Amino acid sequence: MNEERINSLKPGEARSTGPSVQDILDRDGDNPPAPFRDQSYQYLGSDDLTVDRYICPDYAALEAERMWTKVWQMACREEEIPDIGDHIVYDIVDWSFIIVRTGKDDFKAYYNSCLHRGTQLRPSASEGHTENFRCPYHGWTWSLEGELIVQPCDWDFPHTKDRDFSLPQVQLGRWGGFIFINMDDDCEPLEDYLGVLPAQFESWPMEDRFMSANVRRYLPCNWKVAQEAFIESYHVVETHSQALPMTGDANTQYDIWGDNVSRLYTLNGIPSPHEKNPLSDTEIARMLMAGVGQSPIEGDLVLGPGETARSVYTAALKEDLKDKFGADLSRLTTTEVLDPIEYFLFPNFFPWFNFSLPLVYRFRPDGLDPDKCIMDVMLLHPVPDEGPRPEPAPLTVLGPDDSFSKAPELDQISAIFEQDVVNMPMVQKGMKSSRKGITLGNYQEIRLRHMHQTLDAYLAAE
């Protein structure tokens, strides 16, 4: 788009050259469900952001006080605690919670603190199975339903007899096989908080997927720095340049809905608008097919009449996923299977729709240190049409200096993650030398601005 044309547009109206997402969906010709035809961009301003929000301990403390105590946040997958008595500890900033299955289809979430002298009932970041919750310090014990059932030397506590010593609960909600918690007793229902998100996943619900990878990595940067590396495709041209021959990065579609939900919609199987000498559809198909082991890059693949790189690779992916996981994806359209379609639920939850990269991200502060965070990555593959549901993958924990290559369950995506995380400490350190602030693009970085405006609204509330 030339400079004269750009200058004639209102802020936020400029777009990359090349076909749009909707143009390519038209070309696919297989009529994807309505959510994939949605377009919901809104210009939200062009002001710089301060760097304090990333580096200042006082800002991190304010987030803890006014935001993390008020939002719905994903704590775990239901499949991680499949049996009654199975539990997992979810930690956020200085708070800790026990998520436990109490019945076949019942769950509770308790503050992880003994009502005697405050000892944690279960270690942070732990999981396991129990018949009850027994304090390791003095032995006070609660049932799975949170009732106090053992109080050693109860003769010394007559003043507790008429008081409720049940374990305090935190609000719990469920969607798509995920369990969410909210510390605010007066919070809006999870169903309302999710907004349009459930409708976006109707054609293949998240509960019909199983966790084939579960990886946690500790990172030396602010939690927002980490998640902002995955919230836009603008960085692909520099950070992931190997993807340009077959990824529509600059013509990604960005959508925002309400205060809590946004979407990044990138297309695979088309060349980047940055490519000066784009590959042909046949050449792109050869590159893509190498990813499922069906054809080398220099192979003799020839596209037939009406075939495109997208259609051929989608068909191959469907067969590959059926062979690996026993799931029939034949009813899904090209874009549902092939394209990176990443949703965001404020403040830190990123479920992807597609099956070529069936990812879920979650980012959290590591305590109150603004320079440290925790990144969780899951792969959610389709549950087989027949036979038992596969067991969820065990958690792999990586330190700040560990490579994602130490988690082979992530397969080829680990190399891409490494390209992302190498930037993060430089961003964190560079912000501490900044004397200007953060400048964002009006369109490609709209999801960042949207997220920060929602965050600012929480921090401004008393």
Name the E strands within 209-348.
209-219, 247-257, 261-268, 341-345
Cis peptide before 408 (omega within 30 of 0): no
Residue 229 within a domain? yes
11 class by beta-carbon count within 10 Å (0-12 exposed, 13-18 middle, 19+ buried): exposed
Based on the domain organization, do 43 and 128 belong to the same domain?
A: no
What does the pLDDT look like over 100-156, one tens digit per residue? 999 999 999 999 999 999 999 999 999 999 999 999 999 999 999 999 999 999 999
What does the pLDDT look like over 372-396, one tens digit per residue? 999 999 999 999 999 999 999 999 9
Residue type, 35: P
Based on the domain organization, do 447 and 338 belong to the same domain?
A: yes
d(CA 421, CA 373) in angstroms, rounded, equals: 12
Based on the domain organization, do 128 and 271 belong to the same domain?
A: no
d(CA 342, CA 392) in angstroms, rounded, equals: 22
d(CA 99, CA 81) in angstroms, rounded, equals: 9
Q: Measured on CA atoms in the order 38, 39, 44, 48, is the torsion positive or negative? A: positive
pLDDT of residue 295: 45
Q: Are residues 233 and 441 in contact, defined by beta-carbon separation less than 8 angstroms?
A: no
pLDDT of residue 296: 44
d(CA 360, CA 216) in angstroms, rounded, equals: 12
Which stretches of the chain drop beneath a pLDDT of 50?
293-298
Q: What is the spatial order of strands in the sheet that 148-150 belongs to?
A: 132-134, 141-143, 148-150
> Among the three residues 156, 186, 216, which one is the final residue of a domain in this structure?
186
Q: How many CB atoms lie within 10 A of CB 462?
A: 3
Based on the domain organization, do 158 and 228 belong to the same domain?
A: no
| Bridge partners for 305 per DSSP | none
Residue 124 within a domain? yes
Residue 126 within a domain? yes
pLDDT of residue 356: 87
Both tokens of residue 415?
């190399």
CA-wise closest residue to 124 among 92, 169, 82, 86: 92
Based on the domain organization, do 37 and 153 belong to the same domain?
A: no
d(CA 378, CA 213) in angstroms, rounded, equals: 5
> Among the three residues 151, 186, 221, which one is the final residue of a domain in this structure?
186
Residue 141 within a domain? yes
DSSP string computed for 129-184: E-SEEE-TTT--EEETTS-EEE-TTGGG-GGGTTS--SPPB-EEEEETTEEEEES-
CATH number, position 146: 2.102.10.10
Based on the domain organization, do 78 and 26 belong to the same domain?
A: no
Half-sphere exposure at residue 268, Cβ-oriented, CA atoms within 13 angstroms: 24
d(CA 316, CA 309) in angstroms, rounded, equals: 11
CATH number, position 245: 3.90.380.10
Owning domain of residue 99: 73-186
CA 231 to chain centre: 10
> Among the three residues 186, 221, 244, which one is the final residue of a domain in this structure?
186
Based on the domain organization, do 315 and 430 belong to the same domain?
A: yes
d(CA 327, CA 319) in angstroms, rounded, equals: 9
| Bridge partners for 110 per DSSP | 98, 169
Residue type, 378: M
Q: How many domains does the chain have?
A: 2
Based on the domain organization, do 44 and 136 belong to the same domain?
A: no
Residue 333 within a domain? yes
Based on the domain organization, do 356 and 211 belong to the same domain?
A: yes
Residue 191 within a domain? no
234 class by beta-carbon count within 10 Å (0-12 exposed, 13-18 middle, 19+ buried): middle
CA-wise closest residue to 227 among 432, 44, 427, 456: 427
CA-wise closest residue to 381 among 357, 398, 397: 357
d(CA 363, CA 201) in angstroms, rounded, equals: 22
365 φ, ψ (degrees, to nearest 5): -65, 150
| pTM metric for this prediction | 0.96
Q: How many CB atoms lie within 10 A of CB 453?
A: 14
Residue type, 52: D
pLDDT of residue 462: 75
Q: Measured on CA atoms in the order 281, 284, 288, 290, is the torsion positive or negative? A: positive
pLDDT of residue 294: 47
Based on the domain organization, do 158 and 303 belong to the same domain?
A: no
Based on the domain organization, do 46 and 88 belong to the same domain?
A: no
Residue 194 within a domain? no
Based on the domain organization, do 351 and 397 belong to the same domain?
A: yes
Residue 295 within a domain? yes
